[in-house]
Amino acid sequence: MEFVVEKTDGDTLFRLVLGLVVPRPIGWVSTVSREGVLNIAPFSFFNAVNDEPPVLMISVSDRDDGTPKDTVRNILETGEFVVNLVTEDLFEKMLVTGEDFPPEVDEFEKAGLTPEPSKFVKAPRVKESKVSFECRLFRHEKVYDMHLILGEALLISVEDGIVDEEGRVDYNRLRILGRLGGKYYVRVLPECLIRAEGG
Ligand SMILES: Cc1cc2nc3c(=O)[nH]c(=O)nc-3n(C[C@H](O)[C@H](O)[C@H](O)COP(=O)(O)O)c2cc1C
């Protein structure tokens, strides 16, 4: 099958892109509003675009009514955010934070998550998350209707026992979660790992 983009409707393109560009990592982004309200939401249009220094990207749509989501509003207002990673044990809580709550609602409280002070930014980390990147806004661009947010990481914090001193990751312990299309997710289990030999 082939889909000529110009002749394909938006819902189908959405399903194709989200279903085929997989598995995607999930950036669980915590921010704080100018008024001090904590916010957290998951984004699977998420990846790294540079390593030295680390620069991460998320891509965020506006709400149906055309207003920016709280994450974007907070990042543009404060210039700071934290990207936490989602592991198997946090699946249900992550789903709660994907719901659309009004700006005055503390989503940490809603999901039963513990905010932990960050070292370099005002936005808190998620205590329950095994990995957090404290980021300063590097650039904000529009890509058609999406907000492309690039953040430069100032600090990477990793729970003890998951990486060694030189940064090598133990995937048996990380148990990271990935996003597929529709309502599907994927676990990275030890028995599913494939190790490339040589090179
Ligand atoms: C696993 C998952 C991944 C998501 N990825 C994105 C994404 O990449 N971009 C986006 O705009 N929304 C994405 N969403 C939806 C947002 O998380 C949702 O709109 C959220 O309510 C935004 O919250 P906020 O208004 O507090 O920023 C995703 C939701 C889930 C559950």
Q: What share of the chain is helix, strand, coil (3-state, %, to 5)?
A: 25, 40, 40
The DSSP code for 37 is -
Tell me: pLDDT of 103 over 90: no
Q: CA-to-CA distance for 148 and 158, rounded, in angstroms?
A: 26
Closest residue by CA, ligand 1 atom 6: 43
The 10s digit of each residue's pLDDT in 167-185 is 999 999 999 999 999 999 9
Q: How far is the CA of 98 from the centre of ligand 1 (A)?
A: 5
Contact (CB, 8 A) for 155 and 133: yes
Tell me: pLDDT of 115 over 70: yes
Tell me: pLDDT of 198 over 90: no
pTM of structure: 0.97
Query: In the chain, what is the greatest distance between 2 CA atoms, to the nearest angstrom?
Result: 53
Domain ranges (residues) in the chain: 5-192
For the chain, the average pLDDT equals 97
The C-alpha torsion from 114 through 115 and 116 to 118, rounded to 10°, is: 160
Q: What is the mean pLDDT of residues 109-116?
A: 96
CATH class of 5-192: mainly beta
CA end-to-end span of the chain: 36
The C-alpha torsion from 171 through 175 and 179 to 184, rounded to 10°, is: 130
DSSP secondary structure string for all residues of 7-34: GS-HHHHHHHHHHHS-SEE-EEEEEE-T
- CB-ligand 1 contact for 41 (6 Å cutoff): yes
Ligand 1 atom having least distance to the Cα of 63? 19
- CB-ligand 1 contact for 45 (6 Å cutoff): yes
Which of 51-55, 102-106, 126-130 has the lowest average pLDDT? Answer: 102-106
pLDDT number for residue 199: 67
| 104 or 113, which is more confident | 113
- CB-ligand 1 contact for 40 (6 Å cutoff): no
User: Which of 39, 62, 63, 69 to mutate for ligand 1's pocket (most ligand atoms within 8 Å of CB)?
Assistant: 69
